[in-house]
Amino acid sequence: MEKSDSASVLAKVDEVYRLESRRVLATLIRLLGDFDLAEEAVHDAFRAAVEQWPKEGLPGNPRAWLVSAGRFKAIDGIRRRARFDESAADLARHWEGLATGDEETPASPSSPGGEPQGLEDDRLRLIFTCCHPALAPEARIALTLREVCGLTTEAIARAFLTEPSTLAQRIVRAKAKIREARIPYEVPAPDQRPERLEAVLRVLYLAFNEGYSPSSGAEVARADLSGEAIRLGRLLVELLPDPEAKGLLALMLLHESRREARASDQGELILLEEQDRSRWNRGLIREGSSLVEEALLSRRFGPYTLQAAISAVHAEAETAEATDWAQIAGLYDVLWRADPSPIVELNRAVAVAMRDGAEAGLSLLDDLMARGLLADYYLLHSARADLLRRLDRKVEAAEAYRLALQSARQEPERRFLEKRLSQLEWKNPGET
Amino acid sequence: MKYLCLAYGDEQKYAAMSKAEIEEMGVKCKSHDEEMRQGGHLALIASLAPTRSTTTLRPLNGKTVLFDGPYAETKEQVGGFFILEARDLNEAIQAASKHPAARVGEKMGCALEIRPIEFYEVTEAIQA
């Protein structure tokens, strides 16, 4: 290879790192049987690539090259350590066996037929392992973002407004549990898959939401987490085209399509009905809508697909007034039967208010209140306030806005509620 | 790998159950117990006497001191245990989920805890 090419080879290493480092990691975890060893091996492999590729040229299959380099480095490291440490000697013998015996495993990079078989499964294995229900829910998200998406501990901590040390601790503990309880590195058998997939989808959904509307803090949204969740959603649909996985990806894309339009330049929250629809991302809407259709056609869809279908109806409306509320209310009925949660009931009530009038929606919300549900949820109070405002019951509306303010945690939400409240109070004396 | 499975329950709730309810539970348990025995993972199984007969030994100022009652004063206490031989946690979860404490007994606050065993030895001095 010409010397002048070495800069371009190094640029290529960077690109391969971006595209392939997580796949290489996923395979090395399987080959080495340990997350930490595999991570170290990935670093060693890329270090070797930086040294060797400019001299020797790009290998034909960079990923396979990196996997064998990483595995070789790891085994070599274990052997060297074994000379100093008796307890590592057993491990070394174990890996000697692996080093010679794994050529027959289905995921061997040398298997014939171009694309090495089983390597895609490694990424699925990694996702399912990081989202294993035996791990604490907050550890599942952290581990998935760290291992599958490759985010740094600092970036994840920032996204969740946690101390990096707390988050690192969480990841260390999760890895220890995987090792000590022997959580297998596998794609679950078909009979367990629906339940396990649900746990995976939950992680993606929470990660997306944390990026789209963080649980507290000053920004309206943190885009990088949502972007990662969407990337992961695409990967999951590609590897395991399950209808609900498609439904969740569609839901995320449709929400994402409104990101630009949902906050003003000053960071104020803008409600769906007041958003400038020309700022919605049409490409994301098209992709999301067609995924919804695919999922609905399968007839094996669930709550994510239904929520995506509702979001797609909103996306299709040219103006807020043109929204097909009858269809939305109907979809909420189906969703409520599939997933009867108070949040769904709240949203259904809002749709009913739009279809049948504020009075009808209000009585559904009052019913929720009477059962003591969602008493601390600001959206229940702000939805009630809005309907009361439309019915011209200003005193009750103001009271409801105050209740909403008590439980709103995000700055943009609070500013929005305060604005609405002051508009009411300002109008109130003059109009009575 | 071996896993110790601890079956928990609330003794007070159990005591408050009627005779008919206990009998009904017994019938349900029997089939789950049998299913687990047939599963081929069970190494050992035992059920424990109530915690009122429990003694706890604690080191205190260099001496061993006896306490009446269980180590943790919680409502839910270990009422039985078994040891499984399983390839990994998934297989252990599958085998353990056949135990009554994981299936029925919601009324008694039942729960099942799975603990990986790091060291395991069966001595030959005493036969089961």
A129 plus A231 within the same structural domain: yes
Mean pLDDT of B62-81: 89
B50 touching chain A per CB within 8 A: no
Q: Which residues of A touch B93 (CB under 8 A)?
A: 134
Q: Which residues of B touch A134 (CB under 8 A)?
A: 89, 93
Residue A160, pLDDT score: 80
Residue among B90, B93, B116 whose CB faces A180 most closely: B116
Task: Report yes or no on A256 lying in a domain.
Answer: no
Report chain A residues touching chain B, CB-CB < 8 A.
132, 134, 180-184, 186, 188, 192
* Substitution target from B88, B89, B94 for chain A, most A beta carbons within 10 A: B89
Lowest mean pLDDT among A85-89, A187-191, A325-329, B43-47: A85-89
Task: Report yes or no on A85 lying in a domain.
Answer: yes
B88 touching chain A per CB within 8 A: yes
A155 plus A89 within the same structural domain: no
Question: Cβ separation of B88 and A192 shorter than 8 Å?
Answer: no
* Average pLDDT along chain A: 86
Residue A151, pLDDT score: 86
A135 plus A225 within the same structural domain: yes
Question: Cβ separation of B88 and A188 shorter than 8 Å?
Answer: no
pLDDT top residue among A251 and A260 = A251
**Which of A185, A220, A240 is a domain's end point?**
A240
Q: Which residues of B touch A188 (CB under 8 A)?
A: 90
Q: Calculate how close chain A gets to B22, using CA atoms only, in Å.
A: 31
A92 plus A170 within the same structural domain: no
- The yes-or-no verdict on residue A101 having pLDDT over 50 is no
- The yes-or-no verdict on residue A256 having pLDDT over 90 is yes
Mean pLDDT of A270-298: 95
Task: For A219-245, give the DSSP string.
Answer: SS--HHHHHHHHHHHHHHHHHS--HHH
Cα–Cα distance for residue pair A196/A189, rounded to 1 Å: 10
A16 plus A67 within the same structural domain: yes
A395 plus A421 within the same structural domain: yes
Q: At what angle do helices A378-390 and A394-407 cross, to 10 degrees?
A: 160
Please state, as a whole number, how many other Cβ atoms lie within 10 Å of the Cβ of residue B67. Answer: 12
| Residue A129 and residue A174 in contact, taking contact as beta carbons nearer than 8 Å | no
Residue A280, pLDDT score: 96
Total domains in the fold of chain A: 3
The parent domain of residue A149 ranges over 119-240
Architecture of domain B2-116: 2-Layer Sandwich (3.30)
pLDDT top residue among B5 and A213 = B5
A87 plus A187 within the same structural domain: no
**Confidence band of A222 (pLDDT split at 50, 70, 90):** low
Cα–Cα distance for residue pair A335/A350, rounded to 1 Å: 14
Question: Cβ separation of A181 and B89 shorter than 8 Å?
Answer: yes
Report the length, in residues, of chain B. 128
Task: Report yes or no on A400 lying in a domain.
Answer: yes
| pLDDT, tens digit, 9 for 90 and up, residues A56-74 | 999 999 999 999 999 999 9
A74 plus A155 within the same structural domain: no
**Which of A175, A210, A240 is a domain's end point?**
A240
Task: Report yes or no on A370 lying in a domain.
Answer: no
A98 plus A190 within the same structural domain: no
- The yes-or-no verdict on residue A169 having pLDDT over 60 is yes
**Which of A201, A224, A240 is a domain's end point?**
A240
A148 plus A173 within the same structural domain: yes
| pLDDT, tens digit, 9 for 90 and up, residues A291-322 | 999 999 998 899 999 999 999 999 999 999 99
Q: Calculate how close chain B gets to A143, using CA atoms only, in Å.
A: 18
| pLDDT, tens digit, 9 for 90 and up, residues A106-151 | 443 433 333 444 556 898 999 999 999 989 889 999 999 999 988 8
Q: Which residues of B touch A184 (CB under 8 A)?
A: 87-91
Task: Report yes or no on A7 lying in a domain.
Answer: yes
Question: Cβ separation of A181 and B87 shorter than 8 Å?
Answer: no
Longest dimension (CA), chain B: 50
A95 plus A10 within the same structural domain: yes
Task: For A326-381, give the DSSP string.
Answer: HHHHHHHHHHHHHS--HHHHHHHHHHHHHHH-HHHHHHHHHHHHHTTTTTT-HHHH
